[in-house]
Amino acid sequence: MALGQVGPRVQITLAQLKEQIDAISGKGEEVPAPVVGYALIDTGASATCVDSDAAGRAGLPVVDSGPLHSVTHANETVPIYAGSLTIQGANINLLAHRAYGVNLVEQGLIALIGRDVLSQCILVYNGPDSSFSISI
């Protein structure tokens, strides 16, 4: 699909942070499997969001809750998760220490990568070429 129709989407692996995995493994417990799906790079979002169902399947811990302000959420309190988002094929690992839990499955997504996480990156959006690049 064209960049102008669906925006900059990347396939990601949603997983626990390394320190979370180490703590679970250190107890001899099984680490939940990461979840693979698509993320939209959303420069209009101040905070990164993850699909709550995908976060649960990946075993992301709820680290807080807070109000979400968006077009679809008017000051609704949602869970806040900590996890990592690895862009497949690029080996770019982005840390999301405060990702807001929302329903993204209807959009075919497991995450929206917001400006909080994008602050770790260089993003080039080339509209005329219908391409984008992201790097750390």
User: What is the tens place of the pLDDT at every residue in 87-135?
Assistant: 998 889 999 999 999 999 999 999 999 999 999 899 999 988 888 999 8
Half-sphere exposure (Cβ direction) of 29: Cα atoms closer than 13 Å: 10
How many Å apart are CA 120 and CA 122, to the nearest integer? 7
What pTM did the predictor assign?
0.89
Is 80 exceeded by the pLDDT of residue 1?
no
CB 55 within 8 A of CB 14: yes
* Predicted local confidence at residue 71, as pLDDT: 67
Q: Is 5 left (phi over 0), alpha (psi -120 to 50) or beta?
A: alpha
Q: Answer with the residue of higher pLDDT: 67 or 15.
A: 15
User: What's CA 83's distance to the chain center, in Å?
Assistant: 8
- Residue-wise pLDDT for 47-99, tens only, equals 999 999 999 999 999 999 998 877 666 778 999 999 999 999 888 999 999 99
